[in-house]
Amino acid sequence: MDDLRPIDAIAFDLDGTLVDSAPDISHALNTALANARLKSCDLAAVRSWVGDGPDVLIARALSEQGIADANADLRARLRRDFDLATLAAPLKYGAVYSGIAELVAGLRGVLPMAVITNKPTALARAVLEAAQLLRSMAAVHGADTAALRKPDPAMLLAAIARWNLPPARVLMVGDGLVDVRAADAAGCPCALVAWGYGPGSLPAHLNPWRIETPGQLLQSLMMHAPHGRRSFSDQAAHDT
């Protein structure tokens, strides 16, 4: 994608896009593993696993320790303790990426924004609240079941339906291959950020708009924002 088409709404990924949450995810995972008397995982490994939600993260950690066939009770205990640790310290070790607060503040009241994440909704809302971004979001769509996880487009399509917009006017902004694939499946344009955890290589048929900084994204969005747009700030405050 060479440039940005006119956009009426934005769907943001969370981890690796709005916040560098890998340190917090690592802390929550290692807290759960320690409670189960299992070995901890290093941050570099956890960072490479981020993006598919906590159940997949836990499965990868178990596989790394040679217990991929762990029983359902252990997996459930690990997930419970992961969630509790996340809610206790949603963004204690990580941070909002530089420029994101300014991006969101610049768009608030101009374009409606939502978060589309493979993190469960309750955890996502806690992280967004800690990041002081929650009030700017019209909605938070989290993968509360495995079937909703990106690259399935269901959460993105739900946001599009909520806004009553054509998919081509909704921009998906993310850092991972699942974000690009979800956007492609939904018929949305996609912006792939350079500062996140990275998608690796992309299939040749996928051609997202690549952005280097939040400021670049803000400038392009404001340039393409239609004149006379009504404010969405009251809607965002009400919905969250």
Please give the positions annotated as active site.
13
Q: Would you say 162 and 141 are in contact if contact means Cβ atoms under 8 Å apart?
A: no
Comparing C-alpha atoms, which of 15, 7, 3, 1 is closest to residue 179?
Answer: 15
Q: Would you say 96 and 18 are in contact if contact means Cβ atoms under 8 Å apart?
A: yes
- Say which residues have a Cβ less than 8 Å from residue 156's Cβ, sequence separation at least 6: 11, 116, 141, 150, 170, 172, 182, 183, 186, 188
- Longest Cα–Cα distance of the chain, Å, equals 59
Q: Would you say 196 and 176 are in contact if contact means Cβ atoms under 8 Å apart?
A: yes
**Which secondary-structure segment (H or E) carries 96?**
strand 95-96
d(CA 221, CA 230) in angstroms, rounded, equals 15
In the chain, alpha helices (H): 22-35, 43-49, 54-64, 72-88, 100-107, 121-130, 154-163, 177-186, 214-224, 233-239
Q: Is 99 left (phi over 0), alpha (psi -120 to 50) or beta?
A: left
DSSP-based three-state secondary structure for 83: helix
